[in-house]
Amino acid sequence: MKRLQLAALLLAAVLLPASSSLAQTVEQIEPPSWWAGMKEPRLQLMLQGSQIGSLRPRLHTPHAGVRMLPPERVASPDYLFLNLHIAATARPGTLQIELLKPDGRVAQRLSYALQARAPGSAQRHGFGPQDAIYLLVPDRFAKAGESVSNAEMLEAEDRSQPGGRHGGNLAGLRQHLDYIAGLGFTQIWPTPLVENNSASYSYHGYAATDFYRIDPRFGRNEDYRDLVAEARNKGLGVIQDIVLNHIGAGHRWLRQLPEPDWLNQWPSYTETHHARLSLLDPHAAASDRERFVSGWFTRGMPDLNQRNPRVARYLTQMSIWWVEYAGLSGLRTDTYSYSDRGFLADWSRRLMQEYPRLNLVGEEWSPHPAVVAYWQRGKRKHDGYVSHMPSMMDFPLHGALLAGLKEDDGHDSGLTKLYEALAHDFLYPDPQRLVLFEGNHDTPRLFSALGQDLALWKMALLYLSTAPRIPQFFYGDELLLTSPAQRDDGRVRADFPGGWAGDAANGFTGQGLSAEQQEAQALVRRLFNWRKSAPALHGGRSLHYAPMHQVYTLFRQGGGQTVMLMLNKAKEPRRVDMTRFREALGSHSEGHDVLSGQTRRWSESLELPARSALLLELR
Cα(241)–Cα(192) distance, integer angstroms: 5
- For residue 502, how far is the Cα from the chain centroid? 31
In the 8-state DSSP scheme, what is residue 263?
B
Quote the DSSP letter at residue 368.
-
The CA–CA distances, whole Å, from 423 to 280, 310, 372, 428 equal 22, 42, 15, 11
Q: Which of 78, 241, 303, 334 is catalytic?
A: 334
Q: How many CA atoms lie within 13 A of 23 on its CB side?
A: 9
343 with 254: CB under 8 angstroms?
no
563 has which bridge partners? 556, 617
Decide if 275 contacts 288 (C-beta within 8 A): yes
CB 116 within 8 A of CB 92: yes
Calculate the alpha carbon distances from 184 to 82, 101, 179, 234, 335 in Å: 46, 59, 9, 11, 29
Find the radius of gyration of the CA atoms of the chain.
Answer: 26
Going along 101-183, which residue ranges are E strands? 106-115, 133-136
3-state secondary structure of 306: coil
Query: Buried b vs exposed e over 451-475: b needs ≥16 C-beta within 10 Å?
Result: eeeebbbbbbbbbbbbbbbbbbbbb
Q: How many CB atoms lie within 10 A of CB 509?
A: 11
Report the side by side order of strands in the sheet with 66-72.
26-30, 42-49, 79-86, 66-72
Backbone angles phi, psi at 415, to 5 degrees: -60, -25
Checking DSSP bridges between strand 605-608 and strand 470-474, what pairing results, if any?
unpaired
334 assigned to active site: yes
Contacts of 519 (CB under 8 A, 6+ apart): 454
Position 151: which residue type?
A
Catalytic site includes residue 98: no
Q: How far is CA 474 from CA 88, 166, 183, 328, in A?
A: 42, 18, 12, 20
Q: Which among 346, 363, 394, 495 is annotated as catalytic? A: 363
Helix/strand number for the chain, H first, E second: 15, 26
Residues with a known catalytic role: 334, 363
